[in-house]
Amino acid sequence: MLRTIATPTTVVLRALCMLHITHTYLYEFTETKGESMLPTLSSSNDYVHVLKKYRNGTGCQMGDCIVAVKPTDPSHRVCKRITGMPGDIILVDPSHLEDGPARFEQFIQVPKGHVWVTGDNLSHSLDSRSYNVLPMALIKGKIIAANDFTEPMRGNGEKRFGMFGFRWIKNTYLND
Ligand SMILES: *[C@@H]1O[C@H](CO)[C@@H](O)[C@H](O)[C@H]1NC(C)=O
Ligand SMILES: *[C@@H]1O[C@H](CO)[C@@H](O)[C@H](O)[C@H]1NC(C)=O
C-alpha cells in the first residue's frame, strides 16, 4: 500500500502547483513598464492586478484594459485597451508611422475572434495600428486595478489614488 507523506518536497511542489494554477487561471500581480498606457498606467513602478477569467478574451468588452502576448514577439507582453470588438469597423490612421506602404487612411473590419487594441497614449504606443488586429487567444487577462508603490500614502494629493497608489482601472468606454 502506498502511503502519502507530506515531505517538505511534496509540500513545496504542491505550493508551486497551486501558485501555477492561480497564476494561469485566477489572478496575477505584475509590474508594467512603458509609456504607451499613460496616463492610465505610469511608465514605471506600476503594478497591475489581472483577472485571468478574461483570458482568451472571454467576457472582454469594448474599453477594457487587457494584458496580452505581443503578436510580433511572443516573449513580450503588452498592456492595451480594447478599442474595437469583432465586427467593428475601424478607421486606421497610420500618420504616426514613419514608414510602411499604407500612408493613407483605411478601414478595417475586425474579424471574428480578434480585437482592435490601442494604447491610451496614442502618440507613444505600438499597437493594432502597426501590428493589426489581436487574436483574442493572446489575451491573458483583464487589468482591473493598479498600484504605484512609490506613492505609499497617496499619489501627490490626487483623489483617484488610494494607499500605495491604488486605483481601479476603469473601462473608459462604459464608464465615461
Ligand atoms: C505620452 O508619452 C510621452 C513620452 O513619455 C509623454 O511625454 C506624454 O505626456 C504622454 N502622453 C500622455 C497623454 O500621457
Ligand atoms: C478561446 O476562444 C475561442 C473563440 O474566441 C474558442 O474557440 C476557444 O475554444 C477558446 N479557447 C480556450 C482555451 O478557452
78, 150 contact by CB (below 8 A): no
The pLDDT of 65-77, averaged and rounded, is 95
Residue 12 is assigned to a structural domain of this protein: no
What's the domain range around 56?
29-168
| % of the chain with per-residue pLDDT over 90 | 57
Indicate which CATH number applies to the domain containing 155: 2.10.109.10
Residue 156 pLDDT exceeds 80: no
DSSP state of 170: -
For residue 55, give the amino acid letter: R
Domain assignment present for residue 5? The answer is no
Planar angle of CA 153, 67, 20, nearest 5 degrees: 90
Higher pLDDT, 34 or 11: 34
- Domain assignment present for 24: no
176 lies in some domain: no
Number of Cβ within a 10 Å radius of residue 41: 24
Lowest pLDDT segment from 14-18, 34-38, 65-69, 81-85? 14-18
Count: domains in the chain: 1
Please check whether residue 104 lies inside any domain of the structure.
yes
Q: Is residue 63 pLDDT above 70, yes or no?
A: yes
Which grid cell sits at 133? 488586429
CB-based contact 166:144 (threshold 8 Å): no
The residue whose CA is least distant from atom 4 of ligand 2 is 113
Mean pLDDT of the chain: 86
Q: Which atom of ligand 1 is nearest to the CA of 43?
A: 5
Pocket of ligand 1 (CB under 6 A): 35, 38-39, 43, 121, 123-124
Contact, 109 vs 173, CB < 8 A? no
Annotation says 36 is catalytic: yes
CA 45 to chain centre: 16
Q: Is beta strand 65-70 parallel, antiparallel or unpaired with respect to 139-148? A: antiparallel
Confidence of residue 41 (pLDDT cuts 50, 70, 90): very high
Is 8 contained in some domain? no
Judge whether 121 and 151 are in contact, CB under 8 Å. Answer: no
- Per-residue pLDDT of 89-121, as tens digits, reads 998 876 655 555 555 678 999 999 999 999 999
In a domain, 14, yes or no: no
The three grid cell numbers given for residue 96, joined into one nine-digit string: 504616426
In this structure, what C-alpha cell is assigned to residue 78? 503588452
Percent of residues in the chain assigned helix, strand, coil, to nearest 5: 25, 30, 40
Q: Whose CA is nearest to atom 6 of ligand 1?
A: 35
Query: Which residue carries 484594459 as its cell?
Result: 65
Is residue 27 helix, strand or coil? Answer: strand
Separation of 56 CA from ligand 2 center, angstroms?
Answer: 6
Q: Residue 87 is placed in which grid cell? A: 465586427
Among all bound ligands, the one having the nearest atom to the CA of 139 is 2
Whether 80 sits among the annotated catalytic residues: the reply is: yes
100 domain-assigned? yes
Say what the pLDDT of residue 97 is. Answer: 58
**Using CA positions, which residue lies closest to atom 11 of ligand 2?**
56
Q: Which ligand is nearest to the CA of 111?
A: 2
The answer to pTM > 0.75 is yes
85 CA → ligand 1 middle, Å: 26
